[in-house]
């Protein structure tokens, strides 16, 4: 996970998915957020499907949940505010509650954003989002 500060920091990869390059427009190496000296305010997460309880269905490898746990531990150690976990999705990806399977290591998201609506889920989302 690399820190970005503007949309120009993203370029399309071979699958036409926008992602940060290892160096910014000024030629500086991007900072890995797990090595950062400053907290992250928001994390945009991918997924295949979501529900209004904050459950996220990924690809089953647990990569993002592991990363999020590691970042949460880092933020807690440094006394940082936890980042807001937000999903950008199509409305069709938002399913009824109870349909998405969860495990004890799954970390729920704070808010869902679709073309039709913003759905705050956690108290952090209600507190920090300007709705």
Domain boundaries, the chain: 1-31, 35-128
Model confidence at 5: pLDDT above 80: no
User: Looking at domain 35-128, which CATH architecture does it have?
Assistant: 3-Layer(aba) Sandwich (3.40)
Model confidence at 130: pLDDT above 80: no
Kindly indicate the confidence band of residue 36, based on its pLDDT and cuts at 50, 70 and 90: confident
pLDDT at 115: 93
pLDDT at 22: 84
CA distances from residue 68 to 17, 114, 121 in whole angstroms, order as listed: 21, 22, 17
Q: What is the pTM of this model?
A: 0.81
Percent of the chain with pLDDT over 90: 47
Tokens of 9: 């920091």
Q: pLDDT higher for 1 or 100?
A: 100
Closest by alpha carbon to 7, among 22, 24, 32, 27?
24
Closest by alpha carbon to 52, among 117, 119, 127?
119
Model confidence at 98: pLDDT above 90: no
pLDDT at 46: 86
């Amino acid at each position: 996970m690399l820190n970005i500060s503007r949309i120009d920091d993203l370029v399309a990869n071979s699958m036409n998915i926008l992602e940060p390059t290892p160096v910014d427009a000024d030629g500086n190496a991007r900072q890995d957020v797990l090595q950062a000296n400053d907290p992250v305010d928001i994390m945009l997460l991918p997924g295949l499907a979501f529900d209004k309880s904050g459950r996220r269905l990924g690809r089953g490898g647990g990569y993002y949940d592991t990363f999020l746990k590691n970042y949460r531990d880092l933020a807690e150690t440094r006394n940082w505010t936890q980042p807001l976990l937000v999903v950008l999705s199509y409305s069709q990806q938002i399913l009824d509650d109870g349909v998405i399977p969860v495990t004890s290591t799954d970390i729920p998201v704070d808010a869902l954003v679709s073309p039709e609506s913003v759905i705050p889920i956690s108290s952090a989302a209600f507190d920090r989002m300007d709705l």
